[in-house]
Amino acid sequence: MKMPHHHSPHQYIDRETGSVQTESLCADSLIAWMYDSARENARWLFNALISRRFSKMLAWIHYDLRRYLRPREIQRIFRSLHIEPGDIADDISGYICLRDIFERKIRYATCRPMPSAEDTAGVVTSPADARMLVGSFSEISGFFIKEKFFDGTHLIGADKSKWLTAFRKGDAAIFRLTPDKYHYNHAPVSGTVADYYHISGRCHSCNPGAVVRAVTPLSENQRAVTILDTDTDGGSRVGYVAMIEIAAMMIGDIVSCYSDVAYDHPRALHVGMKIRRGQPQSLYRPGSSTTVLIFEKGRVRFSEDIRRNMTRLDAVSRYSCGFGLPLVETDVRVRSEIARRITLPASSSIGKINL
């Protein structure tokens, strides 16, 4: 008898070694119960469990209720989560609860260095330490992902006609942050903020089994949308880029906190603000979460190793089992290269969208 996808192992590819890794999914049995029994037999309970109020309460119970952890306990947690204390920029002697570990700052200039290639002007970097998939809104693409993880119209906002036109048949990357990850997002490109807005919603889990069971769950969650114009002075020259930060279960807030240097003098994003690739842009507080990047059609090409990893047959992915096509994630590091600009011919008709 075939094992249901939400009970099967979930594996991903370690980008640095190319090895297959099996993920230990947080609260996997509880999530499976929610998206099977509760969702089908007690809809009122399921709706309560994915509400923002319950999500914040659950985050407080898990990350704040037990305070004054001893230094020995902090070190044990670091080991269990494979966190290198030397990478942390904070004074860890002041850590007293799990929230402090979750919201940690890191010495990203040294432990998450930017690409060292000579020509990096057109490089797109990962916004997060995350497990990554890539796809396209074009049905002829071998990486077609529309309406599996999200509905593009609802994800961006049904009333945002300008941006829906800009990203029609575009390309997308999905970054799933697990609870053990560093939870700051960094700017993936350089450019100017063309739009910034929030969309209210639920707090669906981003557990792979839950994503497969629910219909386009990422489109239903609370999210912050940043539209970046990169075709500006000092920009990455890859057109408009949408960065969508999605709150999942146990995420209380998405904090806009851009810094030009380290984490100093954080500022909330606003229209007209210039941001620089690789700098801290926002913070998830706390739990699991997902970030989505959407690019205009034909402006970038995703890194070959990430594309190749998606179709590997030696890894068992719940996405592959649930959606019926190869979808194996690659574990990527924040500020590492994940795509490059496609050089357009001089006669290209691609330009600004005026609506």
Residue-level pLDDT at 3: 44
Amino acid making up residue 206: C
Q: Is the pTM of this model over 0.85?
A: yes
Does any domain span residue 192? yes
Does any domain span residue 62? no
Residue-level pLDDT at 225: 97
Low-confidence spans in the chain with pLDDT less than 50 = 1-4, 347-351, 353-355
- By residue range, what is the domain housing residue 279? 11-25+115-341
Does any domain span residue 31? no
CB 267 within 8 A of CB 281: no
Does any domain span residue 319? yes
Residue-level pLDDT at 350: 46
Residue-level pLDDT at 355: 35
Residue-level pLDDT at 1: 35
Does any domain span residue 353? no
Residue-level pLDDT at 243: 98
Taking every pair of C-alpha atoms in the chain, what is the biggest distance, in angstroms? 64
- Residues 144-174: pLDDT tens digits? 676 778 888 889 999 999 999 999 999 999 9
Closest to 26 measured CA to CA, from 207, 249, 211: 207
Residue-level pLDDT at 344: 62
Tally of residues, the chain: 355
Does any domain span residue 172? yes
Domain count, the chain: 1
Does any domain span residue 148? yes
Does any domain span residue 70? no
Find the angle CA(224)-CA(120)-CA(126) to the nearest 5 degrees.
Answer: 30
